[in-house]
């Protein structure tokens, strides 16, 4: 079945969809896509839910165009659109758009021409909200020692991060292979009847719809909107700086996947992060009495983070043979150093861990976003949430009810025991990889050991 995503929202209850073929088209009969366009933005009606880093993109190097950026790169900082379209009044851009310097490419060129001896002067399309800068203006050094140990453990074993990626990530996958992995993963989660190519000339990415047969049955029984049959829109693009990003666009969950970062042994981990964690917990959250901001206040819920991103980050590496927490560790370290250093000094400091100058630039921009004069110490600390959440969950993994943590939606692990008597558990989804809980717990133990952590250290860092 081929659906027009722009038309789906406008069909009324009288519009009956055509049922998809049960088995779908052959996996390798992918349509020839139009030329990949720019990365997904944060337009009107779009909310960014999550982003997974460590991706690559084709872009400009110091010497010009045509290079392939090394895959140690960062979550995508979305590019804003050049104007407010439509007549619905002006809306604030999403956080990542607001924090992207509008002159970042010009400052990058100037920085590289100066042989890295220059501190960029960033400009923003709109003033960065003071409340945002206040919230994320202070870095923590609580887990710096652990971050450094994780980074050095990877480098001692593999020499460079690029070598680690090639050795453990496997080969890059073709579009058809990515499609096949997505199909199989969604079938494992039990929420997909079909993955179909989306034919729409208005989209510059290759898109697929993850369609739920259960939702189609609901549609016929209750004559609901056609939109109900769309689980997730998946976009394939080669212009992301990240492996993936999950957002809600026009009321549809939309997952953008980087073609250049989809590796054989890592793609399913990305799907566990985005679909198996963020998406499933989000779906389950809609069933709970605390699904609204008022409900969260009523039940006195703690913030979903750092649990949300910590859990998703663990799921990214869960079944790797070498489940190193490189990205979370390097982000944590970079932000802590940014709070003490200028941009150029931070860039020089990171050279001990990352040789690729383009990758170091990305980490520095990520840590310094929100600043205008980067010659001053300062940081944007949001990305420390990954390692923070990881270590907290690993510290308490023996007492956390992980299936219940997924079923209750966007809640902190600290609230699970208190909330379980209020939760609506009927028809909630549990990620397939949590079904064998014994294996799941063994993998968490393996992550602890691989990254040079131990129980005594975690208890001292995070006492009860």
Q: Residue 360: which residues within 8 A CB-CB, separation 6 or more?
A: 347, 350, 351, 354
End-to-end CA distance of the chain: 53
Tell me how crowded residue 266 is: count the other CB atoms within 10 A of its CB.
Answer: 23
Question: How many angstroms separate the CA atoms of 385 and 242, rounded?
Answer: 17
**Cβ atoms of 143 and 381 closer than 8 Å:** no
- Distance, C-alpha 390 to centroid of its chain: 15
- Catalytic choice (107, 231, 274, 362): 274
Containing 67, the helix (H) or strand (E) segment is strand 64-68
**Cβ atoms of 116 and 345 closer than 8 Å:** no
Cross-strand partners of 64: 61
Q: Which of 271, 314, 67 is nearest to 173 (CA)?
A: 271
Q: How far lies 432's CA from each of 186, 192, 241, 275, 442, in Å? A: 10, 13, 29, 11, 16
Phi, psi (rounded to 5 degrees) for 58:
-80, 130
**Six-digit token pair at 296?**
């969260």
Tell me how crowded residue 444 is: count the other CB atoms within 10 A of its CB.
Answer: 17
162, HSE (Cβ side, Cα atoms, 13 Å):
9
Locus of tokens 């439509």: 86
Is 268 a residue of the active site?
no
Q: Which of 281, 278, 308, 296 is nearest to 419 (CA)?
A: 296
Q: How far lies 374's CA from each of 277, 357, 363, in Å? A: 35, 18, 14
DSSP 273-293: HIIIIIIHHHHHHTTSTTSSH
Question: How many angstroms separate the CA atoms of 345 and 352, rounded?
Answer: 12
**Catalytic residue IDs:** 274
């Amino acid at each position: 079945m081929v659906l027009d995503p722009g038309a789906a929202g406008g069909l009324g209850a009288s519009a009956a969809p055509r049922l998809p073929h049960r088995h779908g088209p052959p996996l390798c009969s992918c349509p020839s896509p139009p030329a990949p366009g720019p990365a997904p933005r944060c337009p009107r009606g779009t909310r960014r839910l999550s982003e997974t880093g460590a991706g690559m993109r084709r872009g400009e190097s110091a010497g010009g165009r045509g290079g392939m950026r090394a895959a140690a790169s960062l979550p995508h900082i979305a590019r804003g659109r050049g104007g407010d379209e439509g007549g619905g009044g002006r809306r604030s851009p999403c956080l990542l758009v607001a924090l992207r310097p509008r002159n970042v490419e010009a400052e990058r060129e100037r920085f590289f021409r100066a042989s890295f001896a220059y501190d960029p002067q960033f400009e923003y399309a709109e003033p960065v909200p003071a409340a945002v800068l206040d919230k994320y203006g202070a870095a923590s050094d609580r887990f710096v020692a652990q971050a450094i140990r994780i980074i050095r453990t990877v480098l001692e074993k593999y020499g460079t991060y690029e070598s680690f990626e090639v050795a453990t990530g496997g080969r890059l996958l073709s579009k058809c292979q990515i499609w096949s992995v997505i199909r199989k993963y969604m079938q494992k989660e039990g929420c997909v009847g079909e993955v179909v190519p989306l034919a729409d000339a208005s989209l510059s990415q290759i898109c697929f719809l993850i369609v739920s047969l259960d939702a189609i049955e609901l549609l016929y029984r209750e004559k609901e909107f056609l939109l109900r049959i769309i689980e997730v829109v998946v976009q394939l693009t080669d212009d992301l700086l990240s492996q993936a990003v999950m957002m809600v666009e026009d009321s549809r969950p939309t997952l953008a996947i980087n073609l250049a970062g989809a590796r054989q042994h890592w793609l399913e981990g990305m799907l566990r992060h985005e679909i198996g964690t963020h998406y499933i917990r989000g779906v389950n959250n809609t069933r709970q009495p605390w699904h609204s901001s008022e409900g969260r206040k009523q039940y006195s819920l703690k913030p979903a983070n750092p649990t949300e991103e910590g859990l998703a980050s663990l799921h990214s590496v869960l079944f790797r043979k070498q489940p190193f927490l490189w990205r979370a560790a390097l982000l944590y370290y970079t932000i802590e150093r940014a709070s003490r250093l200028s941009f150029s000094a931070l860039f020089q400091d990171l050279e001990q861990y990352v040789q690729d100058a383009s990758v170091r630039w990305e980490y520095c921009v990520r840590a310094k976003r929100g600043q205008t004069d980067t010659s001053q110490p300062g940081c944007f600390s949001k990305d420390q949430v990954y390692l923070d959440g990881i270590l907290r969950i690993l510290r308490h993994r023996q007492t956390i009810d992980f299936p219940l943590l997924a079923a209750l939606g966007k809640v902190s692990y600290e609230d699970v025991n208190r909330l379980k008597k209020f939760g609506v558990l009927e028809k909630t989804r549990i990620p397939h990889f949590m079904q064998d809980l014994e294996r799941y717990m063994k993998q968490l133990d393996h992550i602890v050991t691989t990254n040079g952590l131990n129980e005594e250290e975690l208890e001292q860092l995070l006492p009860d």
